[in-house]
Amino acid sequence: MSLNTLLSVIILVSFIVTVVLAVGSYTAYKLREKRRPRRAPAPLEDAIYFERYVHRTAAGEP
Amino acid sequence: MRHGVRYAIALAVGLLTLTAGGIGLALLLARVPIVRGNWALFITVSLLLVFLVLLVVRYLVLMWLGFLHHLEEQVAEPAEGEGTHPPVTIIVPAYNEGAVIEQAIRSLLELDYPAFEILVVDDGSTDATREVVTGLEGRYGDVVVRLVAKSNGGKATALNTGIALARHDFVLCMDGDSRLSRGTLRAAMRHFGDPRVAAVAGNVKVVNRNNLWTRLQALEYIEGLNMARRAQGFLRAVNIIPGPIGIFRREVLLQLGGYDTDTFAEDADLTLKLLTAGWHIVYEEAAQAFTEAPEKLLDLLKQRYRWTRGILQALRKRATWLVLPRHGLGVWLSLNLMFFEAIIWPTVNVVGNGLFAVLALLSGSGDFILFWWLLLTLLDVVAAVYTIAMEEEDLGLVSYAVIYRFFFITVIDVAKMFATVEEFLGVRMSWGKLERAGRL
C-alpha cells in the first residue's frame, strides 16, 4: 500500500467516524434534554411588568 | 466610501468570482474523459465542482470584502461628532449569575469612557444575584451602577426592561457572563457620527481556550464568524449583532419595539428587524467582548441547535425579504447569506465531502481523497492565517485549522442539519441555560 493510499484511508475513516460521532452526539444531546425536567414558563403578565428593587438602606432598613 | 460604491464593489467581486469559477468548471468538465457519455457520473462530478466553487467563492468574497473593511478602517477620516462621547447605558441581563456578577460589574467600571451607567436587570434569579448587585449599587466617579429586578421572563424581556429604563440615548446590550475590553465604548461610539447607523456589532472572543473544543471555537469565532461579520460590515449590513456585545441607538429600539420574544435567537431577530427597517449596522473589531464558550460537546451542540433554530425562526418572519431586494442590495445579500449559512451550507458541506469520498472509491481513485483533504485544509489554513493576522490573534490557533473542516465543522453541521429538519417539523424546544465553568 502506497503512502497516498494509506493517508487517504486514514482521512476517509476519520471522516466516517466523525459523521458517526456527530450523529451519536446529537442523539445523546437530545436524550439528555428529554431527561431534564422542564421549567414551567413564566406567566405572560409576569414577564411584561417589572418591579424596581429598593435598596434596603433606601427603604429605611438598618 | 459611498454606499452605492460599496454595493457595486460587492457585486463586481461576486460576479467576477462566479464567472471565473463557472468558466473553470466548464473547462475542467470538458477535459475529463470518463465523464463523457456517463450522465450519472457527469451530474455527480458537476455537483462536486459546484460545491468546490461555492466553497472557494465564499472564502474569496468574504476575505476580499473583509480586506476592504480593514483598509477602510485604517484610512478612515474622523466621522462627524467623533470627538464627542455621548453617555451610554450598559445593560447587563442577569439570571443566576451570583457567582460572577460582582467581577463582571467591577470589570465594567474599568472601561475607558467618560460617562456611562451600568444597569443590571435581574431576571428573577433564584440565587444571590440580587443581593450581590444591591451591595454594588451607587456612584463610582462618573459611573452609576443601578439594579432593576423583574420576574423571570428570559433574556429578551430583561433587555427590553433595561432599554425602557435606560437613562441615556445609547445602550450597550451584553450577556451577564461576558466581559468587555477597556476601549470598547470609545471604539464603538465613533460610528454613531453617521445618523444612518442604528447599531454597532462588536467582536466576540473566546476566553476559555483550555481544551480542544474551546480552541476550535476560538478559531471558528475568528475565521468563521468574524470574517463574515467584517465583510458584512463593509456593506453596513451585519446580519447578527452578537448577544455578548451590541451597541444601539435607544430611540430606534423603542420605535421598533425592542427585542421580540417569539424566536430563540433574539439577537439575530432584532438585527433583521433593524436592517429591514432601513438602518445601517456596522462592525467594530476593537469593541471586544470576552465570552466563555461551551467546554463540553453536548453543551456546544445545545448552543448551536438553539442558534440554528432561532436564526431560521427570525428568517421565516421575513421570508419575503429573501426574494427581492426591497431596501437595497446590501440587506438582501446579508439576509441571503444568513439563509445560505444556516440551511444550505451545512448540508452541502457534509454531503459534498461524503459524495467525493464515495465517487473516488467507486471510480478506483481513492488516492484523490488525500488531495481533496489537502486542498480544502490548505484553504482553511490560508483563511485562518489571514484572519488571525488581521485580528492580531494567537497564531497557535492556525494549527487547529488542520482538523477544522473535516472534524469540527462536520460535527457542528450535522447538528445544524438536524436542527433545520426539526424546525421545519415544528418540534418543541426550550431555552435552558448553558452550563458555564465560571472561568471569566
Q: What is the mean pLDDT of residues B193-217?
A: 95
For the cut 60, the answer to whether the pLDDT of residue A39 exceeds it is no
3-state secondary structure of A41: coil
Closest Cα to residue B307, out of B181, B204, B399, B169? B204
In this structure, of B74-83, B334-343, B391-400, B408-417, the range with the lowest mean pLDDT score is B74-83
pLDDT at position A49 is 42
Instruction: Write the CB contacts of B115 (distance below 8 Å, at least 6 apart in sequence).
Output: B85, B87, B88, B142, B143
For the cut 70, the answer to whether the pLDDT of residue B79 exceeds it is no
**Strand ranges (E), B213-299:** 246-249, 280-291
User: Hunting for cell 464627542 — which residue is that?
Assistant: B84
Instruction: Using an 8 Å CB-CB cutoff, list chain A residues near B350.
Output: 19
Q: Which three cell numbers stand for residue B400?
A: 487547529
Nearest to A8 among B137, B297, B366 (CB): B366
Closest Cα to residue B180, out of B241, B109, B120? B109
DSSP state of B150: E
Which residue of B212, B260, B298, B429 to mutate against A (max A Cβ within 10 Å)? B298
In this structure, of A43-52, B202-211, B340-349, B358-367, the range with the lowest mean pLDDT score is A43-52
pLDDT tens, residue by residue, B103-114 = 889 989 999 999
The whole-angstrom separation of Cα B344 and Cα B315 is 14
Parallel, antiparallel, or unpaired: how do β-strands B88-94 and B116-123 relate?
parallel
Contact in structure between B108 and B141 (CB atoms under 8 Å): no
A39 interfacial to chain B (CB closer than 8 Å):
yes
User: pLDDT-based confidence at B57, cuts 50/70/90?
Assistant: confident
pLDDT tens, residue by residue, B126-148 = 988 999 999 999 998 889 999 99
Q: What is the mean pLDDT of residues B250-273?
A: 93
pLDDT tens, residue by residue, B348-379 = 888 888 888 888 887 777 778 888 888 889 98
Nearest to B367 among A4, A38, A39 (CB): A4
In this structure, of B2-16, B38-52, B174-188, B408-422, the range with the lowest mean pLDDT score is B2-16
Instruction: Using an 8 Å CB-CB cutoff, list chain A residues near B366.
Output: 5, 8-9, 12
Distances (CA, A) of B195 to B219, B252, B280, B333, B385: 34, 11, 9, 22, 35
User: pLDDT-based confidence at B216, cuts 50/70/90?
Assistant: very high
Q: What is the mean pLDDT of residues B186-203?
A: 94
pLDDT at position A4 is 81
User: pLDDT-based confidence at A58, cuts 50/70/90?
Assistant: low
Give the residue from chain A lying closest to B416, CA to CA. A26
- Is B354 or B28 the better-scoring residue by pLDDT? B354
Read off φ and ψ for residue B365, nearest 5 degrees: -115, 45
Mean pLDDT of chain B: 87
User: pLDDT-based confidence at B305, cuts 50/70/90?
Assistant: very high
Q: Which three cell numbers stand for residue B95?
A: 439570571
User: pLDDT-based confidence at B212, cuts 50/70/90?
Assistant: very high
For the cut 60, the answer to whether the pLDDT of residue B424 exceeds it is yes
The whole-angstrom separation of Cα B231 and Cα B334 is 10
DSSP string, B50-95: HHHHHHHHHHHHHHHHHHHHHHHHHHPPPPTTTT----EEEEEEES
User: pLDDT-based confidence at B25, cuts 50/70/90?
Assistant: low
pLDDT at position B30 is 61
pLDDT at position B2 is 59
pLDDT at position A45 is 46
Nearest to A18 among B366, B368, B407 (CB): B407
The verdict on ipTM greater than 0.95 is: no
DSSP state of B221: I
Give percent of chain B above pLDDT 90: 52
